[in-house]
Chains A and B, each alone.
Chain A
Amino acid sequence: MKHITINGKAYEVEDGLTIIEAAKRNGIQIPSLCYLEGVHEFGSCRICVVEVEGAKTLVPSCMTKVSEGMVIHTNSERVRRARKVLYELLLSDHSKDCLSCKRNQSCELQALGKQLGVEATRFEGSRSECVIDMSTSITRDMSKCILCRRCVTACNEVQGVGVINAQNRGFKTVIGPAMELPLGTVNCAFCGQCTVVCPVGALKETDSIQAVWEAINDKNKRVIVQTAPAIRVAIGEEFGNEPGSRVTGKLAAALRRLGFDDVFDTNFTADLTILEEGTELLSRVKSALTGGEAVLPMITSCSPGWIKYVEHTYPDSLAHLSTCKSPHTMLGALAKSYYAGKIHREPKDIFVVSIMPCTAKKSEIIRPEMTNDGLPNVDAVLTTRELANMIKEMGIDFNSLPDEEFDNPLGMSTGAADIFGLTGGVMEAALRTVYELVTGRELPFDGLHVTPIVGLDQVKEAAVTIEHPLPDYAFLDNVTVRVAVTSGLSGAHQLMERVADGTSPYHFIEVMGCPGGCIMGGGQPRSDDPDVRTKRLRGLYTEDEAKVMRKSHENPYIKALYAEYLEHPNGHKSHELLHTHYVRRGQFNELTQERFDLGVRSVEKKRDTIAAQAAAEAVAKAESKAHEELESVRVLALEAENTRLKAELADVTETVGFFKSVIADYASRDR
């Protein structure tokens, strides 16, 4: 424990806390901007500075640990004046079109200005250029960036992708991909975690609202909407509800009032995914156990950010991915085939909108693999945040809406589908169905929850031993099925290293691209509640437990779909509509045409041809000189090391000599 004084009052606080944490625990708020507890404690914005007696300068309270006897002033005149100046300096290079900014009134910089009581901007000068980089998922507007580097932490530390970092120096510093390449041309997974942590309007999802309004207003279009499991426990936050509040009924009602013709539930195709993916798993395992060729572990494919990551990072391991499309593209494919037939409409007149907690799904829908008969399975993806904006724009009083149901036949789901939105959920849902199909008995876990894979740990694993299977599955008798679950791309990296080198002990792996799963997706509401993950997680488990049917194969509409249309899981029709393949992209996207198409390489190539002759000569010269020069560099390095060691030796010799003389001196005195 440490004894400290804050603003004249004595406190006893735990060791190892930073000043801002110690203050917070004792009810003292220190204004801050870039600080994100436990994630980004970097001190880049300096807003959280405080005065510590005895320290020469003001210190950033997010990085300074408390020490015994520390006397801290969090709101002295000097501190308050410094904060205001710092704030004004941040504003001096910020485009101040606040009234027409997407983050108006949800901007942390704006809120901070109000909190600090800043009423003037005294520093006007050069401004960073406004360069807008619009990829299919994420839009970057660097004129709004305040260089807090939260996104850098999210991308490098949290997700371990490292696609954005600070480039250039001083006033020219921008946060972006290498050499300021557009985000769409590099190995960005489009997970959108950067858009969640951005305090201002610099990073946001690429807008789809306009396209959706146009479709709704088009009389010739049948506009179908579907909503992912994670939306129902998060969108309430946008209307002042506690994180994790279950607002499924109001969500369906709001979608209907926005003018969508059919309000379906992606949960329905989550149930369908379990049957397709479970069947795929069983056939792979059967093949492996009966001497055939099969790629195991099989890995889930619901998360398009994860898919893009693996296509970039492990292009040689794509056969491990389940061939199932993500649930919302499955629903889109069925809406334009099975459902189109039922309502006698041409597939081209159907417009499918997906409400997703995800930014990566905006890119997923334009993949050529996600089409059937030349039509995209899904036409537009809105994030949870975008949907909330539309509901507000429409003047709908969300909280006083009645609870309504989803439409059938693509709207009913079991509890297994609800937990698709959280880490471990797809695995649990799959085990509930696969175990019962194989043994004829219910999964032997309390409340059907596979306890070892419940929770927010980064990597979780479980083993289920199959005993007394049904005759069809005799090959599984006494087989222990090993599964692993991870969420977040750095966890995925840990599991994939072993998959890639062939030492992974698992049969089935669930990966979700965002830490915690879809409930914490890149398109979800931004929250300052530290327990937001747990609350949303709890919300979805409760949604599951509240349902009568909790196993995907019990869904009567799924049974009807197979009976009327698809015939059986992994059948011909399923493969055509519900399954896909993947693309080798490479670490720098070098295995695709994208970079060339977008002219990134061609610019370099053109410049190269201009200086072709000189360059060719230089290369030839460089090549011949290369070894020689490298050798000389090494010789220089060794020589330098040699000189340093010689000097060190001389020093040591001198010291030894000195001590010898001292000893001799003492020895002679003794005599």
Chain B
Amino acid sequence: MNNAQSHCSCCQQDGMEPFAELDQAIDLYRDKEGNLIQILHIAQELYGHLSLELQEYIATALNKPLSEVSGVVTFYSFFSTTPRGEHTIRVCLGTACYVRGGKKIVDALQKTLGVDIGGTTEDGKFTFEVARCIGACGLAPAMMIDDVVYKQVNINKLDAILSQY
């Protein structure tokens, strides 16, 4: 007495295909409590940022409301919803770096790169962020580009540092 088809065909939609690699991670964590954050981490690792489409894909796979997924994504500063640059610059604004001139570096970089904190340069090269202490207080003021720490930075050294990338 029923000829209904199965519902929810969204996973097969064209826009969803590119995220197929994530399925393994989703399967791995499917029934674990607090799995959303783990999966979001892996998704960001794989695709660079958590676009709306990617969040929709995850919400569908985990059978959670999209607003809940987005709620977690926008809560944690580690997650990014916009494409990130090739390299990430993190200027330390921990207490030691702050008093030794970290803020000046931030101001100078904002001008040089032409982006605000959290922004990505137009050429897609750098994403600019600040960090709250990177544990290198002896090297203050410090900044990182990807995994490399630059010590005792001052605004005159910035061009030389950036030109390496």
Contacts and interface: CB of A to CB of B under 8 A. Distances in A.
Contacts of A607: 82-83
A316 interface: yes
B114 interface: no
A97 B48 CA distance: 44
Contacts of A501: 4, 6
Interface of B: 1-10, 13, 15, 18, 21, 24-25, 28, 42, 45-48, 51-52, 55-56, 60, 64-71, 74-77, 81-83, 86, 120, 122-124
Given A178-B70, A634-B28, A156 B4 contact: no
Interface in A607-663: 607-608, 610-611, 614-615, 618-619, 622-623, 626-627, 629-630, 633-634
A178 B55 contact: yes
B6 A288 contact: no
Nearest to B68: A165
Contact of B25 (A500, A622, A630): A630
Contacts of B77: 169
Interface string A466-504: 000000000000000000000000000000100111111
Contacts of A206: none
B50 to A, nearest CB: 10
Contacts of B5: 316-317
Given A178-B55, A317-B7, A633-B42, A499 B2 contact: yes
The 8 A-B pairs of least Cβ separation, nearest first, read: A162-B65, A178-B70, A614-B124, A165-B67, A626-B21, A500-B7, A178-B66, A502-B2
B42 A630 contact: yes
Given A293-B3, A611-B124, A622-B47, A179 B65 contact: no
A190 to B, nearest CB: 15
Contacts of B3: 293, 295, 319, 502
Contacts of A502: 2-4
Nearest to A169: B75
Contacts of A156: 65, 68
Nearest to A187: B66
A179 B70 CA distance: 6
A627 B21 contact: yes
Contact of A316 (B1, B4, B25, B51): B4
A622 B82 contact: no
B4 A295 contact: yes
20 contacts: A156-B68, A166-B75, A168-B74, A168-B75, A178-B69, A295-B2, A296-B2, A297-B1, A316-B4, A316-B7, A320-B4, A499-B2, A507-B1, A587-B10, A611-B120, A618-B48, A618-B86, A629-B46, A633-B42, A634-B28
Nearest to A610: B122
A178 B82 CA distance: 14
A412 interface: no
Nearest to B125: A614
B52 A167 contact: no
A165 B42 contact: no
A629 B44 CA distance: 12
Contacts of B45: 629, 633
Contacts of A176: 67
Interface string A507-524: 100000000000000000
A588 B66 contact: yes
Nearest to A584: B9
Contacts, number: 137
A500 B9 CA distance: 12
Contacts of B2: 295-297, 499, 502-504
A156 B66 CA distance: 11
Contacts of B66: 162, 177-178, 186, 587-588
Contacts of A590: 10, 13, 15, 56
B65 A626 contact: no
B35 to A, nearest CB: 12
B7 to A, nearest CB: 4
Nearest to B56: A588
Contact of B7 (A168, A296, A314, A588): A314
A482 to B, nearest CB: 10
A590 B66 CA distance: 13
Contacts of A500: 4, 6-7
A615 B56 CA distance: 20
A164 interface: yes
B138 to A, nearest CB: 29
Contacts of A455: none
Contacts of A588: 10, 56, 66
A304 interface: no
A604 interface: yes
Nearest to B69: A178
A259 interface: no
Most chain B beta carbons < 10 A, residue from A156, A166, A503, A504: A166
A58 interface: no
A178 B68 CA distance: 7
A17 B84 CA distance: 51
A167 B86 contact: no
A176 B9 CA distance: 26
Given A169-B75, A295-B2, A611-B120, 5 more contacts: A320-B4, A496-B7, A587-B10, A590-B56, A618-B86
A376 interface: no
B123 A614 contact: yes
A499 B4 contact: yes
Contacts of A630: 21, 24-25, 42, 46
Most chain B beta carbons < 10 A, residue from A178, A186, A314, A614: A178
B48 A316 contact: no
